[in-house]
Structure 1
Amino acid sequence: MERHPRRWLILVVLCLSTLILVIDNNVLMVAIPALTRDLGATARDIQWITDAYILVAAGLLLTAGSLADRFGRRRVMVVGLAAFGAASLAAAYADSPAQLIAARALMGVGSALVLPSTLSILITVFDEEERRKATSAWSAAAVTGLIGGPILGGAMVTHLHWGSVFLINVPVVAVAIAAAYLLMPESRAPARRFDPLGAALSLVGMVALVWAIIELPQRGLGDPATLSGLAVAAVVLTAFVLWERRVAEPMVPLALFRNRDFTGGSLSLVLVQIGNGGLVLVITQYLQFVLGFTPTRAGLAMVPLALAVIVTNGVGAALGQRVGNRVLTTAGLGVLAGGFALMSTLRADDGFATVTATLVVFGIGAGLAQPAAIAALMGAVPARYAGVGPALNDTLQQAGAALGVAVLGSLLTGVFTGAMPGSAPEVARRSIGEALAVAERTGDQALAASARQAFTDGLAVTCSVSACAVLGAAVLAFVLIRGRGAGRTAPVEEQTPVTTS
């Protein structure tokens, strides 16, 4: 594989494009209390502000990856960035939860177009020798968003309107689009027929599956709507698999799952996403509602985690060539599970130092595991499927994220409600945000203290379940991912060169 002369400049564009997606999701984390207050968003609304994005992105990722391979990865990425920027403007000026949910859904469209394109371009311009370094840099850019998003977003929520957090996206999108046209050549896979039936089946099947996952904790398995969603997902996704196995030029190369590295890397990341659903749900609410941090201080509390990831990314890139993906992924996931276990011990009266130490452990685990798992699965993807291969992995991770938010969110709410005193008003038993609002109106300090303790109880259970999910990911990584020296996962002779212009 000939190395592209501008590959490192291209990596800058890819990192910038990924950065904007991560900034958005982490800004949203610190804005949850403000949304609860200013828009009157309920716990259900907050969940759908997150899940609308996941639902749409999960449904479109496979189609977006196929479109990128066919029509050009740069072109699809730029279209996605433009859609993401426009949706961010709409989100910034939403005046109801419904409008914000709709804007988040459109942001999911943009994300689906951008994500597989960034990884597919990375695969095509970096060879196996340099790919680990490029992946670590790409991961570090995502972590930079993890640092900058909460800090900048926290300051904006504190001093400006909450809608300003979405305006961060607009200038970054503009710079990323301009840089893409100035620095990045177009690339696409060798021509093959578009698979419209496969695209339609994947869209309908994934949307039905993710919707059913989201609704299952609230509606229950016996609810007709939930059963219908699961039935539609099962039938349509089965039809999708059968069709992709039969068609001469499938949209999705299901044979990738025969490769142990791709399967091990993908499934490990799926379980990590399920576990991360617990972190996203609990940590910022714990910092602001329980410990009373301002949005700015809550953002600063995330800095040690992000710095730990960045430093460990660099260490992992150096170690990866020596010890291999299996050792790094398994070790990192073990540390990550330990971080969740420590997080489950947090109390309602803990301070900044305790939270910081816990997040540093979490960051070390994530910094070791994620780049190694991504390197394993990307090394298994032939260049002719450089768009749809990463999209398949992203789709599985989005489904895992939806499952994590839905199930762990329901678990958190159930534990919170059960731990609240029976004498508490019904509205105060639904969520900590509503309980503290009632306590503030009535001056009931005992109710506020009970709500904080009940949420901490829910945090303990949620993070314990997340730790178990990540331990399961570690076992999968150890069993499936091949060790160092097991041979190349994607031989050069299997890779069809891309066309560039």
Structure 2
Amino acid sequence: MHRRRWAILGVLMLSLLIVVLDNSILNVAIKTISTPAPTGLGATQSELEWAINSYTLVFAGLLFSAGLLGDRLGRKKVLLGGIAVFGAGSALAAFSGSPGELIAFRAVMGLGAAFVMPATLAVLMNVFEREEQPKAIGIWAGGVGLAIAIGPITGGLLLDHFWWGSVFLVNVPIVLLAIALMLWLVPDSRDPAPGRIDPVGVVLSVVGLVLLVYGIIKGGELADFTDVTVLATIGAGLAVLVAFVVHEKRSDHPSLDVTYFRDKVFSAAIAAIALVFFALMGVTFFSVFYTQSVRGYSPLQTGLLMLPLAVAQLVFAPRARLLVDRFGNRATTTAGMAVVAAMLAAFATLDADTPIWLLEVIFFLMGAGMAHIMTPVSVVIMQALPREKAGSASALSNTFRQVGGALGIAVLGSVLSTAYRNGIEDELGALPAGLRHTAGESIEATLGVADRLGPRGGELVGPAHDAFLHAMHVTALWGAGIAVIGVVVVALFLPGRTPDRRTGDREQELVPAAE
């Protein structure tokens, strides 16, 4: 047991904070970034989706290898390198001159974050004994809630006083503080028998995911999923992902050990994480446009409106284990997933004049539901594998979280885009053909065109709000449907109690943490 373990946990949470903070800050900034220069970059909805997904796809694609490198080279070294790259990417993203540059620099940030995330949980599992691990993981998960809480409010404050790039530049001082504390406090550890890197697997997974997500986003942009380009890209992505799975099964050093998925409990826990983030990321994407474009709230007000979502996670994540102790993993996680599904469905009832306190209740209950999914599921995943494979378990957990989130933004963003274009196109008939296509991309694009048209454009504002609300309702119901699948999966396959399978000699194989 490491004598400075609680101080180390604090440093790990700071590292985690900046990685999660960045995405939650970006949530309130997407409307500003979509505004034409000089206020923003004039990014289209598909470019906004790529600004988010370039980060998550690089992050997800490299997590396996990052976990293995941490196991091989030492988790502290990998953690320090990852945070430094993340800080450099943040500084570059802050001064992007176009949506394309922002997408590229977000990918650099994803590269750094891929090395941070698995290392934090692997170090945690190494410095805490088994009986303290659930409590430590609960606090670690609460750190995610804290980042989700701080992010939108910090982003709102920065956007009220500075330019849009400040939401990325704010990461730099936090990175410098985290590096200093890590050098002082965090012990190094490694796997005594680390696996070999699997470059073919990494390339196949990244290429497959990028093709799949590109096809989904393109389908939403065109509002036509039967387009040959869309179908060919999605098909190619799925084919490459099948090739990835076949390669991993045959490889003697796979980056994704598919044998882990023979364990139904492990598979169900991973699926639960992917499904809840699929639903959540899609919802936060459209809720920002609802609060800012339809309801007229500022970025700071939007950040404050999202506070209940984060506060609920912060409050309930460390306490979720108490419910698990009493009712078991299955009952706790199923109830949490059911609450998330119900709250997603509740978004379909929101209108332009719905009392705002109802949105606050929805956000709070959604956060409470998520807390009762993330904590028990994280414990199940981390305890399902031997302790020396902590990096691999963490990488798998975070990979499926990121892939779920990326697909959520792509799929639900495309549903939103398609439903919006179908709802507004009849109102755009009087516009020139080129302008008509641009104006139909998103509510921000329509309102931007309406603004340029002056008094004549005023007639588009009401229909734009109506079309967006209809599109949001459709998208929310899709998200709820995905969450219901999650309810079924965890109800069928999660255990009532956490299985105790990491006992025996395997515990002794771990290289002890240096003091």
* Shorter-chain TM band: over 0.9
Structure 2 counterpart of 1:98, from 100, 115, 139: 100
Q: Does 1:234 align with 2:242?
A: yes
After TM superposition, list the pairs within 5 Å mapping 1:199-348 onto structure 2: 199-217=198-216, 218-219=218-219, 220=225, 222-223=228-229, 224-243=232-251, 247=252, 251-348=255-352
Which amino acid letter does the alignment assign opposite residue 447 of structure 2?
L
Please state whether the residue corresponding to 2:496 is helix, strand or coil: coil
Supply the distance in 2 between the matched residues of 1:499 and 1:254 (Cα, whole angstroms).
Answer: 28
- Distance (Å, rounded) in 2 between the aligned partners of 1:70 and 1:99: 33
**Deviations 1:168-223 (CA, angstroms, capped at 9, x unpaired):** 1111111111111111110111034x524xx2122112112211221222254743
What are the equivalent positions in structure 2 for 1:426-465 lying under 5 Å apart?
A: 426=436, 427-441=438-452, 442-443=454-455, 444-465=457-478
Going from structure 1 to structure 2, the CA distance change for 1:482 and 1:493 (only over 3 Å counts) comes to: farther
Measured after TM superposition, the shift of residue 412 of structure 1 is: 0.4
Where does residue 45 of structure 1 map in the other structure? 47
Kept in 2: contact 1:58–1:210 (CA 8 A): no
Cα–Cα, structure 1 residues 431 and 483, in superposed 2: closer, same or farther, change >3 Å?
Answer: same
- Report the Cα distance in structure 1 between the residues aligned to 2:360 and 2:501, rounded to whole angstroms: 38
Aligned partner of residue 427 in structure 2, secondary structure: coil
SS of residue matched to 1:395 = helix
Task: Tell me the residue number matched to 2:378.
Answer: 374
| Correspondence 1:34 to 2:32 | yes
Quote the Cα distance in structure 2 between the aligned partners of 1:321 and 1:363.
20
Separation in 1, partners of 2:43, 2:130 = 47
**Pair 1:429–1:187, CA change in 2 (3 A):** same
Where does residue 422 of structure 2 map in the other structure? 418
Please state whether the residue corresponding to 1:482 is helix, strand or coil. coil
Match of 1:162 in 2: 164
Mind listing any 5+ residue stretches in structure 1 that lack a counterpart? none
1:490 is matched with which residue: 475, 479, 502?
Answer: 502
Deviation digits for residues 429-479 of structure 1 (CA, Å, limit 9, x no counterpart): 110111111222223333111111111111111111111111211221122
1:213–1:406 CA contact under 8 A, matched in 2: no
Partner-residue secondary structure (3-state), 1:489: coil
Give the Cα–Cα distance (whole angstroms) in 2 for the partners of residues 286 and 326 of structure 1.
Answer: 34
Aligned match for 2:20, one of 19, 22, 35: 22
C-alpha distance in structure 2 between counterparts of 1:108 and 1:86, whole Å: 11
CA displacement at 1:46 relative to structure 2: 0.7
Q: Which residue of 1 aligns with 2:222?
A: none
| Preserved CA contact (<8 Å) 1:81 1:110 | yes
Pair 414,91 (structure 1): closer, same or farther in 2 beyond 3 Å:
same
Local SS of the residue matching 1:56: helix
- How many matched pairs? 491
The answer as to whether partners of 1:30 and 1:153 remain within 8 angstroms in 2 is yes
Deviations 1:215-270 (A, max 9, x none): 22225474344433333332233112211xxx2x6554433223333222111111
- Contact conserved, 1:190 with 1:499, CA < 8 A, in 2? no
Conservation of the 8 A alpha-carbon contact between 2:93 and 2:106:
yes
Q: Which residue of 1 aligns with 2:4?
A: 6
Which range is displaced more, 84-93 or 253-262? 253-262
**Cα separation, 2, equivalents of 1:489 and 1:278:** 35
SS at match of 1:347: coil
Q: How does 1:61-210 map to 2 (within 5 A)?
A: 61-192=63-194, 194-196=195-197, 199-210=198-209
Aligned residue in 1 for 2:485 = 472
1:142-167 Cα deviation digits (max 9, x unpaired): 11111111111111112210101111
- Structure 1 residues 498 and 472: CA distance shift in structure 2, 3 A: farther
Contact map agreement 2:87 2:175 (CA 8 A) in 1 = yes
TM, length-normalised to structure 2: 0.91
For residues 335-384 of structure 1, the C-alpha deviation after alignment (integer angstroms, 9 at most, x for no partner) is 11111111221112224212111111111111211111111111112122
Show structure 1 runs of 4+ deviating over 4 A.
249-252
In structure 2, C-alpha distance between the alignment counterparts of 1:464 and 1:456, rounded to whole Å: 12
CA distance in 1, matches of 2:142, 2:170: 19
1:349 maps to 353
Q: CA offsets per residue over residues 17-62 of structure 1, 9 Å max, x none?
A: 1110111001111111111112111112111101111221121111
* Deviation at residue 103 of structure 1 after TM alignment: 0.6
**Paired letter, 1:108:** G
Q: Which moved more, 1:96-105 or 1:445-454?
A: 445-454
Q: Which runs of 5+ in 2 are unaligned?
A: 220-224
Q: Distance in 1 between the 2:264 and 2:2 partners? A: 29
* Alpha-carbon offset, residue 15 of structure 1: 0.7
- Kept in 1, the 8 Å contact 2:201–2:254? The answer is no
SS of the residue corresponding to residue 401 of structure 1 reads helix
Shift, 1:492, TM fit? 4.3
RMSD: 1.7
CA contact (8 A) 1:26 1:146 kept: yes
**TM-score, normalization: structure 1?**
0.94
Aligned counterparts of 1:26 and 1:299: Cα–Cα separation in 2:
9
Residue 96 to residue 487, structure 1, CA distance change in 2 (3 Å):
closer
| Alpha-carbon displacement from aligned partner over 1:111-152 (angstroms, at most 9, x marks no partner) | 111111111112222233222211111111111111111111
* Cα distance in 2 for residues equivalent to 1:125 and 1:475: 35
1:383-398 map, 5 Å: 383-398=387-402
Deviations for 1:312-353, whole angstroms, at most 9, x for unmatched residues? 224313222222222211111111111111122111222421
